[in-house]
Amino acid sequence: MTFDATEALRVALAPNAIGVIGASENPHKIGGRPIAYLSRFGFKGRIVPVNPARTEVQGLPCFRSLADAPEVPDMVIVAVPGELAVEAVGECARLGVKVCIIMSSGFGEVHEAGKVQERAMRDMALRAGMRLFGPNSQGLANFGNGTVASFSTMFTEVAPQDGPLGIISQSGAMSVIPYGLLRQRGLGVRHSHATGNDCDVTVCELAAVVAEDPHLRLLMLYLEGIPDPWNLARAARTARERNLPIVVLKAGRTPAGQVAASSHTGSLASEDKVVDAFLEEHGIFRAQSMADMIATAPLYLQGWRPRGRRLVALSNSGAVCVLAADAATQENMPLDELQPNTQTELRGILPGFATVRNPVDITAALLTNSSLFSKVLPALARDPAADAFMVGIAVAGAGYDVDVFARDSAVFAQQTGKPLVVAAPQESVALKFREHGLVTYATEGEAIGALGRYLTHAQRMEHATRRQPRIPGPPAPPRDGEMLDEARSLALLARHGLPVVAHRLCRDAADVRAAWLQLGARRVVVKGCTPDASHKTELGLVHVGVADAEGAQAASEAIAKAAFLGGVRLNGFIVAEMVQSGLELMIGARIDPVFGPVLLVGAGGKYVEAMPDMALLMAPCSAADVAAALERLRIAPLLHGTRGEPPLDVAAFCAAAVAVGDAVSNPSLNLSQVDVNPVFVRRLGEGCTAVDAVVFQTTPHGTDPIPTPQEILTEEPAC
């Protein structure tokens, strides 16, 4: 591209002039509402209406065509249908417009021909150095400077107010629903952009520019697909550099949701866990629902710098204390006991029957002594057990000095700089706290839930900032690959650092006898080596516990027969040492069509599909990443030794997983999928051994040599 593709997006957020092709006198029409909004919400630039049928629109001079206008606006809204829209975009390109918002619908969202038109418009625009939003875009709205180039009715229904929040979505509805819900809570929203069909500029590319806005404190994205993860990664990097959190509501979490997303925006579905791993890697928090996203938003505006998750809860109701303890535990927020001197201090303040542990139950004595509250807070502020606070005012009214509680809480929050949330079911009470700048929820569960999400996000951002995740490139085109047989798979992975079981590849029964002798007088496994099946046990291709040369020969004969009956080719027989000690884990890797290489680690063995226990990471990754992922597994306790067993060699397994992740991430290897299962992990210091593996490779005889059947692996892994 010969122009600064990003600069045009900055223009879109603050153009000097906006043309409207298809300008309408009627402010309820698509071509009329943006003009009305631009005037109403204080757009400082020029508005250039274009409509061959009119000389004036909404009090502004109107032009026959854009070419007739006295200036070429840097941004143009296209609000004419079908072919007229395509022509309008062409004219914009010719005249040197920098960015077009195509509001017209009836393109890619309707039929395949529309997609073709979209691509043609995009290619033409890019050649001319122009960027496109839409088609089918509800428009952009920047309330910071009045650039409300949108036809959403929501800005009429709910009055805007500039503020530190931003929302970007393809869907018009999801650009304004959060706007409406946030405004209902009295929060100011600056950006509310709906990008439509994203034929050129995508939500994520726009996000990377919106994230530059120094006024923003929280950026929210609604996504159904993430076709350009590199743009989202760039947005996240820009945001992290200025400590701007990004929350994503990514729909299509479930198969049913993915089907619906595919008919709505044509989104390509990645496995949902890949999306999770990608977002986490880049410090982006994924909201589980719109309600969660909205409930958490105000916490980001408080300017806190959270240090940890330990909660101190405080209420005038013992029951609220109990529910708060439940909620905190569920949110993984420990309720550490207060220091002895804090407890002593509290005992001096509170009545004898109050609870001075944590949660702190001030009891109904607060009714007769409103000063209890302001006395308790400073004592808590000094306690090192507190990273964050929940204040629950269960019931208050006549007799309670709620204004004092609210003021004292606000002062306390400001002085400590620590997160503080308020639970107050009575709206009159909540209002007082909000007037003092605090964030309130109706119940302790909602308050602690929101706080927990906020704290998790803070931890993730910090982690991502430390790690500096790389910006991925566009993924390689999807590739299926050819399945390598077990011997080739093991050989390839062994060459790239995976410790594999000592084994011999044999041509015939005589070879098998010889291999048995060569491997020593141990028990062995005899397997058929086939490129046609990955589940070999069901086909009768695996004989375990073979204890002598005769047995080995007999096994190979049985396997040959089974292969014939099962209709699979045999590339020979594998005679492998029988690994009998260690915990069975698995390592998997593949190329996600959208996000690129991913690594899977988890419990191994026969029931990996029936009872999955896996964690997914973006690849390549570090041993520390793998170790952290292992801690999320159900089998984690077994890795550290349980029931008197010694801890396992987790480091060796992590190194093996990293090797597989590196291999699948290495473009010269052309791997599309790797399944290593089981990997036996032995006790600390004794390493691990992969016993079976399947590799899919697009060019099996390409850059990496594959051993011929005669070749024998001579390395003897530590056993």
Among positions 605-644, residues that touch a second copy (CB under 8 A) are 606-607, 609-611, 634-635, 637-638, 642-644
Least distance from a second copy to the Cβ atom of residue 233, Å? 23
Number of residues near a second copy (by CB under 8 A): 96
CB contact at 8 A, 63 and 48: yes
Q: Does 431 bind a second copy (CB under 8 A)?
A: no
Instruction: Give the footprint of a second copy on residues 399-428 (CB under 8 A).
Output: 399, 425-428
Q: How far apart are the first and last CA of the chain?
A: 57
- Surface-to-core class of residue 120, CB atoms within 10 Å of its CB (0-12 exposed, 13-18 middle, 19+ buried): middle
Q: Does 691 bind a second copy (CB under 8 A)?
A: no
Binds a second copy by CB under 8 A, chosen from 5, 120, 124, 158:
158
Q: Which region among 240-248, 256-264, 650-658, 697-705 touches a second copy (by CB under 8 A)? A: 256-264
Nearest to 713 by CA among 483, 492, 557: 492
Binds a second copy by CB under 8 A, chosen from 38, 76, 174, 464:
174
Alpha helices in 417-548 (DSSP H): 427-435, 444-467, 486-495, 509-519
Q: Does 709 bind a second copy (CB under 8 A)?
A: no
CA-CA-CA-CA dihedral for 236, 241, 247, 250, to nearest 10: 0
Instruction: Give the footprint of a second copy on residues 322-351 (CB under 8 A).
Output: 322-330, 335
Instruction: Give the footprint of a second copy on residues 111-150 (CB under 8 A).
Output: 111
> Is the peptide bond preceding residue 620 cis, with omega within 30 degrees of 0?
yes
d(CA 200, CA 554): 64
Instruction: Give the footprint of a second copy on residues 492-521 (CB under 8 A).
Output: none
Q: Vertex 348, ends 402 and 333: CA angle to 5°?
A: 65
The DSSP bridge pattern shows strands 583-592 and 671-681 to be antiparallel
Binds a second copy by CB under 8 A, chosen from 129, 188, 318, 481:
318
Q: Looking at the DSSP assignment, which residues form a beta bridge with residue 616? A: 600
Least distance from a second copy to the Cβ atom of residue 707, Å? 29
Which CB, 450 or 619, lies closer to a second copy?
450
For residues 293-327, b (16+ Cβ closer than 10 Å) or e, as one string? bbbbbbbbbbebebeebbbbbbbbbbebbebbbeb
Give the three-state DSSP class for 439: strand
Least distance from a second copy to the Cβ atom of residue 511, Å? 29
Instruction: Give the footprint of a second copy on residues 437-496 (CB under 8 A).
Output: 442-446
Which CB, 224 or 485, lies closer to a second copy?
224
Longest dimension (CA), the chain: 99
Give the three-state DSSP class for 52: coil
CA-CA-CA-CA dihedral for 258, 262, 266, 272, to nearest 10: 10
Binds a second copy by CB under 8 A, chosen from 44, 535, 561, 632:
535
Q: Looking at the DSSP assignment, which residues form a beta bridge with residue 573? A: 506, 528
Instruction: Give the footprint of a second copy on residues 24-43 (CB under 8 A).
Output: 28
- The secondary structure of the chain in percent helix, strand, coil, rounded to multiples of 5, reads 40, 20, 40
Least distance from a second copy to the Cβ atom of residue 370, Å? 14
Neighbours of 510 (CB within 10 A): 11
Sign, Cα dihedral of 551, 554, 556, 559: negative
Q: Which two tokens stand for residue 419?
A: 């997160």
Which CB, 328 or 413, lies closer to a second copy?
328
φ/ψ of residue 556, rounded to 5: -65, -35
Least distance from a second copy to the Cβ atom of residue 138, Å? 9
Q: Does 674 bind a second copy (CB under 8 A)?
A: no
Least distance from a second copy to the Cβ atom of residue 260, Å? 4
Contact mark string toward a second copy, 67..96, x via CB under 8 A? ------------------------------
Instruction: Give the footprint of a second copy on residues 257-316 (CB under 8 A).
Output: 257, 259-261, 263-265, 288-292, 316
Q: Does 64 bind a second copy (CB under 8 A)?
A: no
Which CB, 55 or 428, lies closer to a second copy?
428
Instruction: Give the footprint of a second copy on residues 218-247 (CB under 8 A).
Output: 222, 224
Which CB, 199 or 233, lies closer to a second copy?
199
Nearest to 197 by CA among 94, 266, 113: 266
Binds a second copy by CB under 8 A, chosen from 320, 498, 515, 650:
320
Least distance from a second copy to the Cβ atom of residue 326, Å? 4
Which CB, 45 or 425, lies closer to a second copy?
425
Q: Looking at the DSSP assignment, which residues form a beta bridge with residue 132? A: 100
Q: Does 104 bind a second copy (CB under 8 A)?
A: no
Q: Which region among 79-87, 209-217, 249-257, 556-564 touches a second copy (by CB under 8 A)? A: 249-257
Which CB, 116 or 291, lies closer to a second copy?
291
